[in-house]
């Protein structure tokens, strides 16, 4: 008997099998709101209980963290109705469902967000992106609240859990990667404790507000595969910290490689400019 067809228990929730549909942005929302097209898409994907678990596409936790037009929103309570419709369809088809919640950091544009882009530090990802504003401690605190509120909305909509997005060069990955985190405070990029501080604050706050039975997953961009970037050894240590803070499920993916292709040459250019 194949292991992959066997049920898997995560806390009080049992997946019928171990096939998982990963989060994939469909751009089918109607200005952030769940559309009929989006419902039809997830209905088709979850038919016949083929996947034990569906992780829905990244949804933004606040407008500053919106990655692109057409991205799904989980930024305020008005999203709950549409999201609960989506959850009912997936549950009816026999799959469990968790919502990926995300802040794009500076991997977006002021055209999309209507605001200045933000990040751990004023480091431009590549020449395609703007130079972001470095988040202040008050702004970081409000991001923790926004992640927490989004998790609460997900619970109210009937999701079985949330997945905190910290991969693919988005905000939490920007804090995690020493290539994009040049801070010198307690969120600093020169120690692993500094690089994961924001993650731990979010995980602890979410757990406090959603209770023990709700699944908290974290998608980690576990390695940048770039000189000076995050390494697999860092991720092993970070994962232990995430689990202690309340994470039930780790979803391992890539970090900043590809997004930061031009970063090293940009940083060299910036330091040359500072010399003159």
Ligand X SMILES: Cc1cc2nc3c(=O)[nH]c(=O)nc-3n(C[C@H](O)[C@H](O)[C@H](O)COP(=O)(O)O)c2cc1C
Handedness of CA 88, 93, 96, 100 (dihedral sign): negative
Nearest to 201 by CA among 117, 121, 140: 140
Pick one of 8, 25, 192, 241: the residue that binds ligand X (CB under 6 A): 25
> Is 170 an active-site residue?
yes
Q: Which residues pair with 59 in a beta bridge?
A: 72, 101
For 36-71, b/e burial (b = at least 16 CB within 10 A) is: eebbebbeebbeeeebbbbbbbbbbbbebbbbeebb
Q: Does 66 bind ligand X (CB under 6 A)?
A: no
Taking the complex as a whole, the smallest distance from the CB of residue 186 to ligand X amounts, in Å, to 27
- 83 closest CA partner among 134, 151, 11, 147: 151
Residue closer to ligand X, measured from CB, 26 or 264:
26
Q: Does 27 bind ligand X (CB under 6 A)?
A: no
Q: Which residues contact 148 (CB under 8 A, 6 or more apart)?
A: 202, 205, 206, 209
Piece of the chain touching ligand X by CB under 6 A; list 12-20, 121-129, 160-168, 227-235: 160-168
- By residue count, the chain amounts to 276
Does residue 58 belong to the site contacting ligand X (CB under 6 A)?
yes
253 binds ligand X (CB under 6 A): yes
Asked if 221 interacts with ligand X (CB under 6 A), we say no
Which residue do the tokens 């988040």 mark?
Answer: 135
Asked if residue 24 binds ligand X (CB under 6 A), the reply is yes
The answer to the question of residue 29 lying near ligand X (CB under 6 A) is: no
Task: Candidates 219, 229, 235, 247: give the one binding ligand X (CB under 6 A).
Answer: 219
Question: Based on CB atoms, which residue is closest to ligand X, 132 or 221?
Answer: 221
Q: By rule CB under 6 A, what count of residues binds ligand X?
A: 12
Cβ-proximal residues to 275 (8 Å cutoff; 6+ apart), any chain: none
Q: Where are the alpha helices (DSSP H) in the chain?
A: 36-46, 80-92, 110-113, 137-157, 171-176, 192-210, 232-245, 263-275
The residue within the footprint of ligand X, chosen from 57, 64, 234, 248 (CB under 6 A), is 57
| Catalytic entry in 42, 170, 176, 187 | 170
Give yes or no for a contact between 251 and 219, defined as CB atoms under 8 angstroms apart: yes
Residue 229 binds to ligand X (criterion: CB under 6 A):
no
- Of the candidates 8, 11, 19, 22, which one interacts with ligand X according to CB under 6 A? 22
Q: Which is nearer to ligand X, 103 or 219 (CB)?
A: 219
Nearer to ligand X, 39 or 267 (CB): 39
Range in contact with ligand X (rule: CB under 6 A) among 3-11, 76-84, 90-98, 162-170: 162-170
DSSP code for 30? B
Instruction: Please check whether residue 175 is in contact with residue 187, taking contact to mean a CB–CB distance below 8 angstroms.
Output: yes
Q: Which residues are catalytic?
A: 170
Site residues for ligand X per CB under 6 A? 22-25, 57-58, 100, 165, 167-168, 219, 253
């Amino acid at each position: 008997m194949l292991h992959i067809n066997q049920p898997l228990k995560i806390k009080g929730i049992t997946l019928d099998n171990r096939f998982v549909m990963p989060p994939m942005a469909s751009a089918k929302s109607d200005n952030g709101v769940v559309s009929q097209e989006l419902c039809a898409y997830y209905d088709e994907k979850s038919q016949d209980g083929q996947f034990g678990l569906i992780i829905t596409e990244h949804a933004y936790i606040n407008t500053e963290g919106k990655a692109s037009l057409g991205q799904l929103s989980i930024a305020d309570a008005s999203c709950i109705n549409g999201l609960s419709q989506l959850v009912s369809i997936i549950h009816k088809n026999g799959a469990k469902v968790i919502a990926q919640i995300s802040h794009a950091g500076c991997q977006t544009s002021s055209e999309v967000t209507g605001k200045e882009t933000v990040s751990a530090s004023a480091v431009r990802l590549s020449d395609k992106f703007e130079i972001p504003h470095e988040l202040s401690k008050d702004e970081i605190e409000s991001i923790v609240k926004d992640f927490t509120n989004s998790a609460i909305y997900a619970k109210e909509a009937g999701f079985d859990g949330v997945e905190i997005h910290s991969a693919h060069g988005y905000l939490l990955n920007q804090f995690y990667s020493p290539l994009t985190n040049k801070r010198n405070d307690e969120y600093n990029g020169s120690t692993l404790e500094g690089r994961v501080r924001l993650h731990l604050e979010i995980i602890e706050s979410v757990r406090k507000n959603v209770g023990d039975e709700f699944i908290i997953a974290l998608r980690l961009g576990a390695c940048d595969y770039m000189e000076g970037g995050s390494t697999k050894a860092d991720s092993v240590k970070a994962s232990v910290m995430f689990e202690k803070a309340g994470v039930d499920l780790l979803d391992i993916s890539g970090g900043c490689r590809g997004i930061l292709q031009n970063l090293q040459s940009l940083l060299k250019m910036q330091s040359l400019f500072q010399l003159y």
